[in-house]
Amino acid sequence: MKECLCKRACELAVYMIETGATVRSAARHFGISKSTVHKDLTQRLRQCNPSLYAQAREVLDENKRERHIRGGMATKRKYERLQ
- 10-residue mean pLDDT profile of the chain (83 residues): values are 86 95 94 96 93 94 84 86 85
Nearest to 27 by CA among 42, 38, 17: 38
What is the C-alpha to C-alpha distance for residues 12 and 30, in angstroms, rounded to an integer? 8
- What is the per-residue pLDDT for 9? 95
Overall number of domains in the chain: 1
Backbone angle region of 63, left / alpha / beta, with phi > 0 → left and psi within -120 to 50 → alpha: alpha
What is the C-alpha to C-alpha distance for residues 37 and 46, in angstroms, rounded to an integer? 13
Q: Which domain does 22 fall in, by range?
A: 2-82
- What is the per-residue pLDDT for 1? 58
What is the C-alpha to C-alpha distance for residues 77 and 71, in angstroms, rounded to an integer? 10
For the whole prediction, is pTM greater than 0.85?
Answer: no
